[in-house]
Each structure stands twice: as C-alpha cells, then as structure tokens.
Structure 1
Amino acid sequence: MLNYLKLIRVNQWVKNLFVFLPIFFSGNLLNIDLFIESFYGFLIFSFVASSIYIINDYVDIEKDKKHPEKKNRPLASGKIAKQNALILFVILVIVTSILIYFFGNKQVAILVGIYFFMNLAYSFKLKQIAILDVMIIAFGFLLRVFVGGYMTSLIVTDWTTLLVFDLALILALGKRRGELINADLQGITRKSLDGYNLNFLNSALAITCTVAVICYMMFILSPDTQTKFHHYIIYTFVFVFAAVLRYLQQTFVYSRTESPTKLIFKDHFLQILIMLWGISYVLLIYFNHGK
C-alpha cells in the first residue's frame, strides 16, 4: 500500500490546496457549502494529478533506474509492476471523471481536461523544452485556482491570477535549479536540462522574485484591495519581502539545492514568515469587522 501511495505522490497533494484560494480570499472559508464544493475540487485535482505522476514515472522508468534517488521510485525499483500502475492510472481517470460528472460543471471539466492533456504532452515531450516546461508547471497551479473558482462560482481576480502564476514560476525555476546542480554533482546529463545553465536560472529566479515583490506591493496599495480588506494590509508586505529575501539567501548564499517546496518544509524561518502572513490575512478577512 505504501508503494502505491508513493506512486501517486500523496505528499504532493498539498499543491492542490490552491483550489481553496478563491473561498479563502473571498471570506467564504467558513461557508460549509462552498467549502464542500472546494473540497470536491481538491479531490478532483488530486486524482487527476496523481494519474499524471503515474504516466510520468512510466515514461521515465528507464531513466529513473539510472538516477541515484529516483531509482527507488516504485516503478523504477520494480516494487510495482507496469501493468498494475497502468490499471491504477485508468482507475484514477475514471474516478476523476465521475467526480466531475456529479460535483463539477462544464467549466471544471474543460479546465481539468486541459490540465490532463497538457501534462500528458509534458510527460512525453514538452518537459524537454526549456522555458516551456516551467511555464506548463506554473500554468498548472493557475488551473487549480480556476477550478476552485468555478467549483464555487467565485471570481478569481486578476491580481490572484498574476501572483499565483509568478509564485508557481518561482517554484518551478527553483526546482530546475536544484535538479541542474545535483545533476552536475552526480555527473548525470539530462535532456530536460539542456536549455538551462546556472547563470540563466539564477537570473530568472532573481527576475521572477522581483516581479513577485513588485506585483504584491501594487496589489496591497491598490484602493480596491484596501477597501476590501483594510489599509493594515500594507504591513503584510514585510512578511512577503522577508520571505523572498530568505529564499534568495538560502539559494545563493548557502547554495541550497532543494526545490522551494522542500526548502519550506525544512526552513523554520520561512515557515514562521508564511504562518505570520497567513494569520494576518485570517485576521483581516475574518475578524476585521470594523474595516
């Protein structure tokens, strides 16, 4: 059972929490009906994403066997047979389709379909095309947010779209940077990294982090945002700016090669900053009755 959970990457389901962003920022997180609808969206995306992980491992099985870490994956190590993996893939696709039919709508079906076929193409070919690969990953996060919006009939703002895409791009570029460094250290050549080098990825990360900070600053200074939340929202900039600086410090000063998501789980300072940012929004959205 544990090997099957590893195969479908249950630990990666945390990414699908982006589905809940629309109800959180709209102040409807405590609305039971909308929360349940968002939860169904979370399940839909979790199952479809897991089906893609299976195909990705199936396609890369021979490459993974030669990789010092990926060789331990269930398919590459032979702990799960190819046939069983494909059966599980079909089951997940069927379950996803059933959930969409009973709890989703036309828009959700289209968005999940786009995600599914886009990532199939990514697994077979597109992940070997530099820049396009990270764009696809970032767009996948955006689709999660859109699904959350359509499941609950809530509007996803332009600011949310822009900030989520940029954040996802930072995560994708950071992951590629770690993969590139580790591949060089281990003497491994990967076609998917041919279009990258360390200087490019460092520059790309610096640019996307700068864009994120500027966009967030414009967001919290906009009259609409301050009217919706409170002018105190400007103080959340401290947490965002400090988190970006901390990430860049860990990346460039301490030469950490983990993906940003793994780094967050290991770095207590980043965890504290994210927690304080989250608490600030909970207070501004759900407890600020005098705004």
Structure 2
Amino acid sequence: MLVVDLDGTLLRSDMLHETLWDALTRDPRAGLRALGALRRGRAALKDALAQDTTVRIETLPFDPRVIARIEARRAAGGSVALVTATDQRLAEAVAAHLGLFDEVHGSAEGVNLKGAEKARFLVDRYGRGGFDYIGDSSADLPVWEAAERAISVGASAAVRRQLDARAGAQPEHLPPAQAQAAAILRALRPHQWLKNVLVFVPMVADLAFDPRSFLLSLLAFVALSFTASAGYVVNDLLDLSDDRSHPRKRNRPFASGAVSAQVGTALIPLLLLVGAMAALAVGPVLLGVVALYFVATLSYSVKLKQHTMVDICMLATLYTIRIIAGGVAIGVVLSVWLLAVSMFMFFSLAAVKRLAELTDLEAAGREVSRRGYRVEDRAVLSQMAIASGYLSVLVLALYIDEPQVQEKFGAPWLLWGVCPLLIFWISRMVMIAARGEMHDDPMIWALENRTSRKVMLGTAVFIALAVLA
C-alpha cells in the first residue's frame, strides 16, 4: 500500500489555509468565526471551514511528480490511499477529482489525522511496515518511522536529516520544485517597491538634499516597501481562485503553489513588524501614516477594488499617501500645489491601469472585468486618464509661477521645460495602454520603459538646472 499525504505533498499548498482565505474572500468576518471554532480543536476548525468552502479543486496546484508516483504504483498493480489531516469532505473531493485513490481518510470532528495520530491510524489499519509513505514535514516523522519505505517531498534540510537518522530503510527525497527563497522573494513583489520612490518627492520639492533628510526618507521607503509587500501577500491570498484562472497571474507564487498559503499567512505579520520598526525609527507620526496606508491597502484588497470608480480613486489615494509619508519623514508641510498635482496625476495613472486591463480583456474576448468595468468603458477611461493627467500639468504650471517657487529656484523659468515633457509622457502612456502594450502597473512601466526613463531624465535635468543656475 502506498499512502500519500495531501498538504505540502500531493498539493503544493495546504487546504486549511486555502479554505481560510477562501472564506475571508467571501466574508471578512470569517476569521472571527474560525477562531471560535478553533477553541474546540483544529479538527473543528477544519470542519467549520470545509462546510461552505468554494475552493475549486480542479484549479489547485498539484505536484505532478507525486501524481506520477501514484500512477506508477497503480500501473504496477499496487493500491494507493490518500490519508491526510485535511477534512474528510475535502479529501474526498480531491480524490474524486484525481480518480487515483483506492481509499480516502481525512480528519473529522474530534479526530485530527496528523503526526502521531496518523501513525497510529496507519499502523492499526495496515500494520507496522505494511505501507510506504510520502510526506513533507516534521509532523510526518512518526509516520515515516512506522512505514516500510519513506519518501519526502520538498522537505526542509532539517527534516531530511531527521528522517535519514530515524527511518528504517534509506529514505528517498524529492527536492522542492523550485527554490523556496526565490519564490518568496517574488511573492513580495520587490519590483513594486519602485512605486515607493515617491517618498523622496517632498525632499526634492523642498530641495532638502542633506544626509539627514535622505536617511529619513530612506527609512520611510523601507517602511512602506515591507508594509506594501504584506498588502501584496494579502491580496494574492484573497485572489487565489481568480489568479489560478488567469493566463498570466496563475504563475504567481501562491497561485502556482511555489509558496504555500501557510507560508504566506506567516509572512504577513513578519513583514508588518519590519515595516513598523522602520517607521518607528523615524517617529510615531510616520508609523501612523504607514498604518493608514496598510489599512487603506487592506480595504482596497478586501472590498473597494470590487467597486467601479471607487477602486481608481483608492489607487490614487494610495499613491498620494506615499508622498505624505515622505513629507512626514523629513518634517515638511506639504504644499497644497504638490498635493493637487499628485491627486490629478495619480488618478490618471489609476485610470490608465484599468484601461490597460480592459484592453487585455477585449483581446481575450471577454466583456466584463472582475471589477465591474465593461470593454465599452475604454473610451471613457481614456478620456479620464488624459484629462486628469493634463490637469496635473496645468496645476504644475500655475505652481511654477508662485512667489515661493521664484525665491527657491535660481532660474525657475527652466521648470517650464518639465510641462511639455509631462504632456508627451501622459499622452504616450495612454496610447500604449489603449493599444494593449502595457502589461504591468503604469508606475512600474514608467520606471522600466526606455522612453519613459528618458522623459524622467529630462525632467531631472530641467529641475537641476533650475536649482543650480
């Protein structure tokens, strides 16, 4: 008999956290109900989450290497059993989908088939040494000891050493499908940290180029980056089902199973702690702004992104909060003009983001997005993006003529060179999004696109000349 574990073995994730995040997607209060069920034990928690889960079994990331082992054993005339700590109903659903198991045994109310409990169950049913076992974690060590042959899948180095020392026959180890550290780094989306360079805008606007201002802005950058990564993890865990049905997003670390939902859940408080410590190193006010940013991000991920136009306004707000954080970090009062430019510019960028998504949607032959936009809304979104972007340039032009700017810059008239560059940049960005050639966030595209970088360089040159002249 070949006995196969589910979580982390046959499945490159774990059903407890998959069902938990599925429940939170549908109802944020599900977390409180889960805590209530946990008081009666982990089996009761699994039972409560399994009762009304909408997790689509057919989209889950199964490990093809384990499936190949199962098929080989069946082809040789052997029997295979799925024995897991996952709830019995979910285990049966997995077995029904795959059609590879002769027996299915999962946890039920009061019985959590994990660790020593699973080992006792298997020994009672098949006898000591009467089965081979495929597992993945330290909880499986008692089971491997009772098995005739031990096979680990993606186990840590520490677990492999313990298994080598305790198992009877020489164990076999299947390595992780890909490097866990690299997959976790991808899940944090470090390329998205580029957006947080906005915290340096107040420093540039105030011409505060001293080391202290740079260090404080850098700490704000670190605080927002780690807090943003926590938000990205939450967003990806909430979007698991949708991402697995998306042609590109299904390759994201959590959707593909490169990083399990359990690891993602543990990452969130760790990332928030690092972000909070960096913010607190600057001061409690910045900590408050960073906390506001995370709450806004969470609100967007859980609810607001599902509402047409509200999502665009919220994205613009998140961009603006980054600039506010930069101002708080160096202790400057942000100009109303700067906030107005930010508001219009970031609304434009958010509209461009939705425009690009709708263009991709049309190319895929679909009519309605997950956020309620329709393909025919592309023209309206394009107009919004252009109008708001041009308004930001208008506000900037009026700002250049302010007396305080005239006093601060040696040659303020050179700042007028920034305006046509921005008009060109906004117009080109909207056109590229409308053509379906923008496959990333507009801010990331702006920082990675060659022509866009030339515009930024030109802008920096005009500002530098205006300061130094």
TM-score w.r.t. the length of structure 1 is 0.90
Aligned to 2:212: 33
SS at match of 1:34: helix
- Relative contact order (C-alpha < 8 Å, sep 6+): which is higher? 1
Aligned to 1:60: 239
CA contact (8 A) 1:21 1:148 kept: yes
Aligned to 2:264: 85
The Cα offsets for residues 67-111 of structure 1, whole Å up to 9 and x where unpaired, read as 00000000000110001011111100111222233x132321221
Distance 1:27 1:43 in 2: 21
Aligned to 2:406: 226
Distance 2:432 2:254 in 1: 33
Distance 2:389 2:238 in 1: 33
Distance 2:424 2:404 in 1: 25
4+ residue runs over 6 A deviation:
none
The Cα offsets for residues 22-72 of structure 1, whole Å up to 9 and x where unpaired, read as 11221122x111111111100000010000000000000010000000000
Distance 2:351 2:206 in 1: 29
CA contact (8 A) 1:246 1:270 kept: no
Aligned to 1:24: 204
Aligned to 1:268: 450
Higher fraction of helix: 1
Aligned to 1:116: 294
* C-alpha deviation, 1:255, in angstroms: 5.2
CA contact (8 A) 2:341 2:395 kept: yes
Distance 2:206 2:188 in 1: 31
Distance 1:284 1:251 in 2: 32
* C-alpha deviation, 1:170, in angstroms: 1.5
Moved more, 131-140 or 195-204: 195-204
Higher fraction of strand: 2
For residues 92-241 of structure 1, the aligned pairs below 5 Å read: 92-101=271-280, 103-188=281-366, 189-194=368-373, 197-229=377-409, 230-241=412-423
SS at match of 2:454: helix
SS at match of 2:253: coil
Relative distance call for 1:284 and 1:141 in structure 2 (3 A) is same
Moved more, 146-155 or 92-101: 92-101
Q: Say whether residues 1:42 and 2:224 are aligned partners.
A: no
Distance 1:187 1:36 in 2: 49
Moved more, 10-19 or 177-186: 177-186
SS at match of 1:67: coil
Q: Which runs of 5+ in 2 are unaligned?
A: 1-180
CA contact (8 A) 1:130 1:194 kept: yes
Relative distance call for 1:245 and 1:184 in structure 2 (3 A) is closer
Distance 1:239 1:194 in 2: 31
Amino acid at match of 1:250: I
Aligned to 1:69: 248
Distance 2:419 2:283 in 1: 37
Amino acid at match of 2:293: Y
RMSD: 1.9
Distance 1:138 1:129 in 2: 15
Amino acid at match of 1:7: A
SS at match of 1:76: helix
Q: Say whether residues 1:247 and 2:415 are aligned partners.
A: no
* C-alpha deviation, 1:195, in angstroms: 6.6
Distance 1:45 1:20 in 2: 12
Relative distance call for 1:20 and 1:139 in structure 2 (3 A) is same
CA contact (8 A) 1:44 1:99 kept: yes
SS at match of 2:334: coil
Moved more, 119-128 or 179-188: 179-188
Distance 2:385 2:323 in 1: 23
* C-alpha deviation, 1:263, in angstroms: 4.0
CA contact (8 A) 1:181 1:257 kept: no
* C-alpha deviation, 1:274, in angstroms: 1.7
Q: In terms of Rg, which structure is larger? A: 2
Q: Which runs of 5+ in 1 are unaligned?
A: none
The Cα offsets for residues 131-178 of structure 1, whole Å up to 9 and x where unpaired, read as 111111111111111111111112211111111222211111111111
Percent identity of equivalent pairs: 24
Amino acid at match of 1:91: L
Amino acid at match of 1:145: I
Amino acid at match of 1:157: S
